[in-house]
């Protein structure tokens, strides 16, 4: 139990109706979770407005309401508090409710279009293998030491973040690595969270269905670094044209990593194959089981994170050389008689990087068959760009459904096909059913050929018309290719 007045400390309050010297038993922004003596925070969401559920919350036992617009009629015995931004207020309240857990951790946030999951996961693995009790909040999973929890969002809501961080602290976690999405920044999910470091991986076309234009998307990412404290570090990709921009106004210590540009932490690929890479990291040669230039960038980024968290390089390199990538990120499922790869790439830039990586590794005596789709109810502008990259950089592209959600998968593919020119029109097929599309690729592939299945990566479901059906790209590939051995 906490006093309401203490939970509201730091919230820009406009009006108060009732007493703030009352005890609160819990906090929620979901009226379905309301119990006796709860503080209900009414949030205006993208599809629902919590203000419409204030009466229901009070009926269920809420004794305090935090909102942006006070209801016309008010119940006796209930405290009503209005503020300018209830989302931001929720983050502040959540921080107080869980006793400021982020201040008790070395918490590093990772943002960018691509690479967030890989960098956060690799950093978790690094510190975990070095003996630290470590936490991870990622698109794929939440880890608290050795315990694994399911992940539903890249960046959870403010209440969930603080609850998870408090559990981490109570379980002895000292370091935590967290993906920070543009949605999470824009919706103040990480407001009042105290970060020890922030990382920018890269920026390319994505989420314009939400942000509407690239500048807004870029500026949203930058807000994360603008809010870092001076005691933190801000690590950015020197090779990305927005790398310096991201750190323009940060108070944190600026550091850069890169492969092509001058940087505080530099890496070069010396040798590469499907089994890994030989890298020159600063002045040391090191082997990594990771594949691709994008993973070399992830590698040096994680090395930099370790160094900035005061780990000596003699301790870092031996452990880092054993680190594997996140599930569904350039994951080689089968190597014989064909090579089958699953990747989460769902942006034009990510897909291009994966295809370019394969181009460096292949001999040209084999075919590359790419199975690709685009998710429904998401950024439509990237669909033709995805198709263009797949067709131009593959011997054959098979267009299929991804997570169509509430859209017609045939219409999604029709929009993708607007990016395919007549000159390469012969290099693609359309197979709506994803399982059948993968089967078609496996049937057409000859010995030594390469099959790339992109878009879903680690996901083990197919989302259509509000329902998630079990579906795992890697499992389907493995089962189909068993018959070829």
CATH code assigned at 394: 3.90.190.20
The tally of domains found in the chain comes to 3
Shared-domain flag, residues 385 and 454: yes
Residue 325 lies in a domain: no
Q: Return all residues near 98 (Cβ < 8 A) that are at least 6 apart.
A: 162, 163, 165, 166
Shared-domain flag, residues 12 and 111: no
Residue-wise pLDDT tens digits, 356-382: 999 999 988 999 999 999 999 988 999
Q: What phi and psi values does residue 393 have, to the nearest 5 degrees? A: -110, 10
CATH code assigned at 187: 3.40.1190.10
Burial state string for 413-429 with b = 16 or more CB within 10 A and e = fewer than 16: bebbbebbeeeeeeebe
CA 91 to chain centre: 20
Instruction: Please report where in the chains the tokens 């691709």 appear, as a residue.
Output: 292
Residue 99, pLDDT score: 98
Neighbouring CB atoms inside 10 A of 291's CB total 25
Residue 320, pLDDT score: 94
Among the three residues 266, 292, 320, which one is the final residue of a domain in this structure? 320
Domain range enclosing 232: 101-320
Q: CA torsion 283→116→109→43, rounded to 10°?
A: 170
Among the three residues 276, 293, 320, which one is the final residue of a domain in this structure? 320
Shared-domain flag, residues 388 and 264: no
Residue 47, pLDDT score: 79
Residue 179, pLDDT score: 96
Q: In angstroms, rounded to a whole number, what is the distance separating the alpha carbons of residues 6 and 370?
A: 56
Among the three residues 293, 320, 347, which one is the final residue of a domain in this structure? 320
Query: Edge to edge, what strands does the sheet with 13-17 contain?
Result: 13-17, 79-83, 64-67, 38-41, 26-28
Residue 394 lies in a domain: yes
Residue 207, pLDDT score: 54
The pLDDT profile of the chain, 485 residues, written as one tens digit per residue, is 999 999 999 999 999 999 999 999 999 999 999 999 999 999 998 778 999 999 999 999 999 999 999 998 899 999 999 999 999 999 999 999 999 999 999 999 999 999 999 999 999 999 999 999 999 999 889 999 989 988 877 789 999 999 999 999 999 999 999 999 999 999 999 999 999 999 999 998 665 666 568 899 999 999 999 999 999 999 999 999 999 999 999 999 999 999 999 999 999 999 999 989 999 999 999 999 999 999 999 999 999 999 999 999 999 999 999 998 888 989 999 888 999 999 999 889 899 999 999 999 998 899 999 999 999 998 899 999 999 999 999 999 999 999 999 999 999 999 999 999 998 989 999 999 999 999 999 999 999 999 999 999 999 999 999 899 999 999 999 999 987 66
CA distances for 473 relative to 26, 332, 392, 441, angstroms: 41, 12, 23, 12
β-pairing, 233-237 vs 253-258, is parallel
Closest C-alpha among 125, 127, 144 to residue 135: 144
Residue 326 lies in a domain: no
Residue-wise pLDDT tens digits, 171-180: 999 999 999 9
Cis-peptide, bond into residue 337, ω within 30° of zero:
yes
Shared-domain flag, residues 152 and 77: no
Residue 71 lies in a domain: yes
């Amino acid at each position: 139990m906490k006093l309401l007045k203490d939970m509201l400390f730091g919230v820009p309050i406009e009006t108060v109706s009732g007493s703030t010297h009352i005890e609160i038993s819990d906090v929620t922004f979901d009226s379905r979770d309301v119990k006796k003596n709860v503080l209900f925070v009414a949030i205006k969401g993208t599809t629902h407005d919590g203000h419409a559920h204030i009466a229901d919350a009070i009926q269920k036992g809420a004794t305090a309401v935090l909102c942006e617009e006070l209801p016309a009629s008010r119940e006796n015995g209930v405290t009503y508090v209005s503020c300018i931004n209830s989302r931001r207020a929720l983050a502040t309240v959540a921080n107080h409710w869980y006793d400021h857990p982020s201040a008790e951790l070395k918490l590093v946030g990772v943002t960018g279009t691509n690479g967030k999951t890989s960098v956060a996961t690799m950093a978790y693995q690094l510190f975990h293998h070095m003996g630290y009790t470590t936490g991870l909040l990622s698109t794929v999973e939440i880890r608290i030491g050795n315990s694994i929890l399911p992940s539903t969002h890249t960046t959870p809501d403010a209440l969930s973040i603080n609850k998870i961080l408090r559990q981490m602290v109570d379980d002895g976690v000292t370091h935590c690595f967290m993906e920070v999405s543009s949605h999470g920044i824009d919706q103040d999910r990480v407001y009042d969270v105290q970060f020890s470091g922030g990382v920018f991986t890269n920026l390319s076309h994505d989420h314009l269905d939400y942000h509407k234009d690239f500048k807004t998307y870029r500026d949203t990412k930058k807000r994360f670094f603008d809010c870092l404290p001076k005691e933190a570090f801000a690590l950015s990709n020197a090779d990305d044209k927005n790398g310096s921009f991201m750190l323009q106004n940060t108070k944190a210590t600026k550091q850069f990593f890169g492969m092509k540009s001058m940087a505080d932490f530099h890496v070069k690929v010396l040798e590469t194959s499907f089994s890994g890479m030989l890298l020159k990291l600063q002045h040391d040669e090191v082997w990594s089981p990771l594949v691709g230039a994008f993973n070399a960038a992830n590698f040096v980024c994680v090395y930099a994170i370790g160094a900035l968290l005061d780990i000596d390089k003699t301790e870092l390199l031996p452990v880092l050389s054993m680190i594997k990538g996140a599930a569904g990120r350039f994951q080689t499922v089968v190597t014989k008689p064909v090579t089958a790869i699953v990747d989460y790439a769902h942006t034009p830039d990510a897909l291009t990087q994966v295809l370019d990586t394969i181009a460096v590794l292949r001999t040209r005596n084999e075919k590359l068959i790419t199975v690709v789709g685009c998710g429904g109810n998401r950024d439509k502008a990237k669909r033709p760009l995805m198709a263009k990259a797949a067709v131009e950089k593959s011997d054959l592209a098979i267009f299929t459904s991804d997570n169509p959600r509430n859209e017609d998968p045939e219409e999604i593919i029709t929009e993708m096909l607007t990016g395919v020119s007549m000159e390469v029109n012969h290099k693609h097929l359309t197979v709506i059913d994803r399982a059948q599309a993968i089967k078609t690729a496996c049937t057409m592939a000859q010995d030594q050929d390469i099959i790339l299945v992109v878009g879903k990566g680690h996901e083990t479901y197919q989302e259509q018309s509000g329902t998630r059906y079990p579906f795992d790209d890697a499992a389907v590939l493995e089962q189909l290719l068993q018959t070829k051995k």
